[in-house]
Amino acid sequence: MDLGLDGRVYIITGGSRGLGFATARALVADGARVVLSSRDAGHVAAAAESLGPQAAGVAADLTDQETPGLLIREATSRFGRIDGALVSVGGPTPGTAATMTDEQWRSAFETVFLGSVRMMRTVAGTLSEGGSIGVVLSTTAKEPAPGLGLSNGLRPGLAMAVKDMADEYGPRGIRIVGLLPGRVMTDRNRELFGATGDPAAAAARAAESIPLRRLGEPEEFGKVAAFLLSPAANYLTGLMVPVDGGSMRGL
């Protein structure tokens, strides 16, 4: 199936590795061009180089109010247009909601919530009809995960912000969707498995709880995200799409 991505341009935050990079790779493979951002200049430069001339890399932090404008300018100056974005940020510090300090809550809010909302709002303001934004959330947007109190607290609110903005920008033909990754083998999940003291056993337990009886691969997420951003998904907006192997039990 032709996704209609040829020549389109997308910004990918958190794009140097994991789910962001997997999405960028899927977009480029289908003819799109991408601007990757990451706080680590070396990582984002290497990621962009690996994707070839269809990719550019920018060192930037979503907590910086200037970042959305910087990335939009890079996309339009480098590739002449912008058609959408994937907004992805790293997971906040593990721990229960009750044990997190005020400073940890403030820091997570700035990155996970406010940085994402600012990016969505700014990009949506520049898009024309047919533009699209995907926001990487988590299954914690719908059900809590043990030991991830900050994520449990912030992701549901961000999911509702996605719904609210989808309503607001829908009349202009701009789509906004959320993606809910489950146990996908990213560096984040490797970190969480490692914190148990027995990563292999923790990964095996996690896989056993998933109906498909395995963990997901970033490439599997990336293909779903590329589809949702593409014109092939033009009648989908405001929805939350789990990419979790069936692990969520609710409808």
Which neighbouring-strand residues pair with 33?
A: 9
**CB within 8 A of 34, min separation 6: which ones?**
9, 10, 11, 12, 15, 24, 27, 28, 51, 54, 55, 56
Boundaries of domain holding 88? 9-241
- 19-58 confidence digits (pLDDT tens): 999 999 999 999 999 999 999 999 999 999 999 999 999 9
Tokens found for residue 22: 């997997």
Distance CA(133)–CA(228), nearest Å, equals 9
Distance separating alpha carbons of residues 251 and 248, to the nearest angstrom: 8
Report pTM.
Answer: 0.94
Structural domain contains residue 3: no
Helix (H, G, I), strand (E, B) or coil at 89: coil
Burial grade of 114 (CB within 10 A; 0-12, 13-18, 19 or more): middle
The enclosing domain of 70 has a CATH number of 3.40.50.720
| 247 domain residue, yes or no | no
Mean pLDDT per 10-residue interval, the chain, length 251 residues: 95 96 98 97 97 98 96 98 95 92 96 96 97 96 93 96 98 98 84 81 87 95 98 98 93 80
Q: Determine, yes or no, domain membership for 91.
A: yes
